[in-house]
Structure 1
């Protein structure tokens, strides 16, 4: 943001032209100036009312201090709930439980959300602690296929499977909760519209041949039908007979 001249100006232009979110990255490890980067980003948020997605890979107490700085600015500027998201946030699982509890309680009070790509090399973010604190938690796909993780296919349910397996999630109710995060609850990160099997909701649905939500997650079953906005994008019969 700061070490490359012109980056903040480009983000400012994007927000002025209607970008719904801008992003930041490791204010200390990348820019070596956490105060400067965050002040620059939050000034754009304050001026244009856009959202902010911050990717934090910084470890331990260094990363936790970045959380504090972000939350300070959300509180100072009165940024509304759901407009600031912290991605990755490895420090959250590396600090002691009391420190994590305090951070989560503060995030919940300010409406700051968090997402993960469930990297296999890292400890997973604590499912129950997020729910207990009231912090909205979701899954993302990051770069899908890049140097960080070349195994991705863009399927959020695959990220959910990876999160559950790497995090030792085994109880039926917890597996079901992971599926909810990957499906119904994930919509809130991109829209304020109702997204569920409910009257008036957008017609987005994926049908799978599974016994129940837990089975759909752990067995990674094929998609039988994919509908987006009422339009069929994938159907098992069409795949078998594509030219008929």
Structure 2
């Protein structure tokens, strides 16, 4: 169903919190009818169980999920199962492997990307920030193939694209390609990877990335796996650039940023304060091997922390599930968010901070005029959905019914 007017009846919405003394002990809900027209929520009315429309059967309505770090162009999804090889231990090992395999992967990448998007839909995701390779091996073909797949899925998925020189800027002479792709309207962010360990310099590649972002009105989203001094210095460099150039504030991100997970408590606080002041966000795949990111400290200082799946059946990791509700569940488990209120707040990591109730329990979503980007979940409230990773019954994107359990 594409952009037709219709009604969802028997829809469960959260309406507030129940308190005992000062503690939230449960979430209040009620049934409603939701009118959808031209890709938006047109009306929210008390439930009429005998009204004509699609019966939600009391399922909970939540905002559709947003995967803020993925690689739709480069994965093994749709190919025979293959676990990670122990022979490839470093990023440079992976670069050499990709140089060998990318020509083969590109032959089927459009169809496999579409298949992966369908898989993400089944978990309630209707938006992704996807990195795409820019390198001498693939040229711009990774982008072109990804764009083709996204055109085919335009009615069911929205995306932001990050130009990603995975094989290094200097290491494989990717500068000219990056300059070319930075001018393209379809590209939203300029990326990079481990400038010190891959390119041998923090300043040289980051000066180029920053200037391309400024010259072309793009954001920055840098992969940074480096721990220790080089990792901290790289984050500090981007903070300084965002402070010097206010147009980068709120548009600059460090993906992974594992260095932040290996600092003292006082240094973590200092870095969180600086990130917040510069409007530099952190994007995390949570969890990652032995690194536990200081997400509570970052959020306490107002740092935007975005969450994504990153690897979904690829040569880097065997553990990406594609399930953003699972990511919210993992965050709650890692940081001990177990109360009704805490679990309901943890849902924000799956929805990019769109929540049905504000922190005090006032209803704030959905409202008439909001985009009809929604999921129906087999749960009684947000807290239960996070705790139990409740099944997704349906996904609607811009009013289009994308996925529905049969």
The answer to whether TM tops 0.5 is yes
Which structure dedicates a bigger proportion of its chain to helix? 1
Instruction: State yes or no: 1:128 paired with 2:277.
Output: no
Q: Does 1:12 align with 2:179?
A: yes
Pick the aligned partner of 2:393 from 216, 224, 236: 224
Aligned pairs (5 A) from 1:1-244: 1-5=169-173, 7-18=174-185, 19-185=187-353, 196-236=365-405, 239=406
Higher Cα radius of gyration: 2
Question: Where does the alignment leave 5 or more consecutive residues of structure 1 unmatched?
Answer: 188-194, 240-244
TM (norm. structure 2) is: 0.53
Q: Distance in 2 between matches of 1:157 and 1:230?
A: 21
> Do the aligned partners of 1:57 and 1:88 also contact (CA within 8 Å) in 2?
yes
Gaps (5+ residues) in structure 2? 1-168, 356-363
Query: Which range moves more in the overlay, 30-39 or 59-68?
Result: 59-68
Per-residue CA deviations over 1:84-111 (Å, capped at 9, x if unaligned) read 1111111112111111111111111111
TM-score normalised over the length of structure 1: 0.86
SS at match of 1:185: coil
Q: Which residue does 2:44 correspond to in 1?
A: none
Does the aligned pair in 2 maintain the 1:208–1:222 contact within 8 Å? yes
Superposed CA deviations along residues 152-208 of structure 1, whole A, max 9, x for unmatched, are: 232222222233334443333332222112114279xxxxxxx95222221100111
Q: How many residues align?
A: 229
- 1:30 is paired with a residue whose SS is helix
Following TM superposition, by how much is the alpha carbon of 1:120 offset from its aligned partner in structure 2, in angstroms?
4.3
Shift of 1:231: 0.6
Asked if 2 retains the 8 angstrom alpha-carbon contact of 1:205 and 1:228, the reply is yes
Partner deviation per Cα, 1:32-70 (whole Å, 9 max, x = no partner): 111111011011011111011011111133311211111
- Cα distance in 1, alignment partners of residues 311 and 224 from structure 2: 15
Task: Report the RMSD for the aligned CA atoms in angstroms.
Answer: 2.0
